[in-house]
Amino acid sequence: MIHAIIDYIQSYLGSDKTPGAAGNIFWMVVYILLVFVGLSVAVIAMNWLERKILAHMQVRLGPMRVGPHGLLQPIADALKLLLKEDIMPAEADKVVFWIAPFIVVLAAFTVFVVVPFGPTHAITDMNIGILFMLGVSSLSVLGIVTAGWASNSHYPLIGALRSSAQMVSYEVAMGLAVVSVILMTSLNDQGVGTLSMIGIVQAQQAQGMWFIFKFFPLGLIGFFIFAIAMVAETNRAPFDLPEAESELTAGFHTEYSGFRWSLFFLAEYSAMIAVSSIAVTLWLGGWLRPFPNLLTGPNWDLIFSLFPGATFVFLGALCFYNAARMPKHPLFRIQTIGLAGFGVVLALIGLVLFAPPVRERIGDIFWFSAKVAAFMYLYIWYRGTFPRYRFDQLMKVGWKVLLPTGLVLLILTATTAFAAPSVQEWLKRVL
């Protein structure tokens, strides 16, 4: 019995398929748990990073009290949220009010089923991957709308109306940009494209370039359309009208508190990670390391596989440097020791990542996460830089700028993709 189970678990090892495609339930569950835990940790880290980075952009210090440099602040926040009183307005629609946060969280987490962290590091690979991601992430607007309506209050209702109008408008431009990428995947010998997330990255590998550089500048324009639309889709600054605090208190989640509110928070950040991973997969080569076709050979492989460990060791060294710079007053002793301890932990993780069996396996996950992290930093940067749009300006950008650009882009990409093989033939004959 136990042997059978161990055999079943081991039968997947060394496979070149995702657990979902191989049909191995044990590894599917393991991957789902890993993604869930990783995502929750990422959201907690984002909470701290956003407050810290915004603060530094505005020449403030940000959280400094709880733990060294406020490192334990997210944990304190989470505890506070869980212990807070959970208030439900007397006039609210009880059932819908209760369901709404769960719809948002489910939609935000379900999309990670198809996110490809590596050729084998995904829960599963669907042949409608990108359609699935767009479809399920568009379900989160249902949760926002019902949350705003069920609160039975004016600000949430206005926030919900704004959010549904905004998300429906920007989904159109987003879809057009995505379709132009799917057209690019069909430039192979069979002339057949793919909707699978893993297939899209493999097409970029086969064609030897990220799709952001394909048919320059068409790929770049598509990427920009998506990059703008995805900020609007996730209701983030400068498109955060559904929760514009100066006008609507907190928008659609004004009446929510405690645990339910934290669900909205969790969903917002994991939706940001989800759309960033769509952008990374479609335009920035997904899990591929920089120059996978140009800088080949075992030496370059070795150099690039050292990056994950080096990053963590660097972060650990940064912690040590700041621990050394801490005030020498006895009151700061615990903080100094804590920061140094955190640095030791980071450096140890880095050393583990240097070990050959580990670094060969996590390279793809590292590059994917690093690209997504760049997008998360951009999100914070936008919030620190741009003032909020007015609602008519928002609609104007969506319908009068992004949508026509997307349509023209789609036609141009289709024409180029159709003409590209014959032009190459012609060039070959002429030259």
Partner 1 sequence: MTPVATPFFFYLLSATMIIGGVLVITRKNAVHSALALITALLAQSGIYLMLYAPFVAGVQIILYAGGIMVLFLFVIMLISIERTQKERQFNKQWLVGIVAAGVLGGLFIAVYTKGKSLFPEGRLTFAESSNTQGVADLLYGRTSGVYMFSFEIASLLLLVAIIGAVVMAKKRI
- For binding to partner 1 (CB under 8 A), which residues are involved? 21, 23, 93, 95-96, 99, 126-128, 131-132, 134-136, 138-139, 141-142, 145-146, 148-150, 157, 160-161, 164-165, 167-168, 171, 192, 195
Residue 45 burial by CB count (10 A; 0-12/13-18/19+): exposed, middle or buried?
middle
Neighbours of 381 (CB within 10 A): 13
Q: How far is the CB of 325 from partner 1 (least distance, A)?
A: 51
Residue at token pair 């899209």: 200
Which residue number, 185 or 335, has a Cβ lying nearer to partner 1? 185
Which residue number, 341 or 404, has a Cβ lying nearer to partner 1? 404
Which residue number, 55 or 142, has a Cβ lying nearer to partner 1? 142
Residue at token pair 């359609």: 131
Residue at token pair 């990428």: 181
Strands (E), 10-57: none
Residue at token pair 């819908």: 96
Residue at token pair 């014959």: 422
C-alpha pair distances (Å), 134 with each of 167, 354, 368:
12, 36, 19
CA distance 56 to 65: 16
Which residue number, 93 or 301, has a Cβ lying nearer to partner 1? 93
Phi, psi of 159 (to 5 degrees): -60, -40
Crossing angle for the helix pair 197-207 and 154-185, nearest 10 degrees?
Answer: 40
Residue 430 burial by CB count (10 A; 0-12/13-18/19+): exposed, middle or buried?
exposed
CA distance 52 to 19: 38
Which residue number, 135 or 327, has a Cβ lying nearer to partner 1? 135
Q: How far is the CB of 214 from partner 1 (least distance, A)?
A: 21
Chain Cα centroid distance, residue 219: 20
Which residue number, 24 or 335, has a Cβ lying nearer to partner 1? 24
Helices of type H across 151-296: 154-185, 197-207, 218-233, 245-248, 258-283
Q: How far is the CB of 34 from partner 1 (least distance, A)?
A: 22
Q: How far is the CB of 23 from partner 1 (least distance, A)?
A: 4
Q: How far is the CB of 372 from partner 1 (least distance, A)?
A: 23
Q: How far is the CB of 230 from partner 1 (least distance, A)?
A: 16
Which residue number, 192 or 294, has a Cβ lying nearer to partner 1? 192
Q: How far is the CB of 285 from partner 1 (least distance, A)?
A: 23
Q: How far is the CB of 26 from partner 1 (least distance, A)?
A: 15
Which residue number, 20 or 63, has a Cβ lying nearer to partner 1? 20
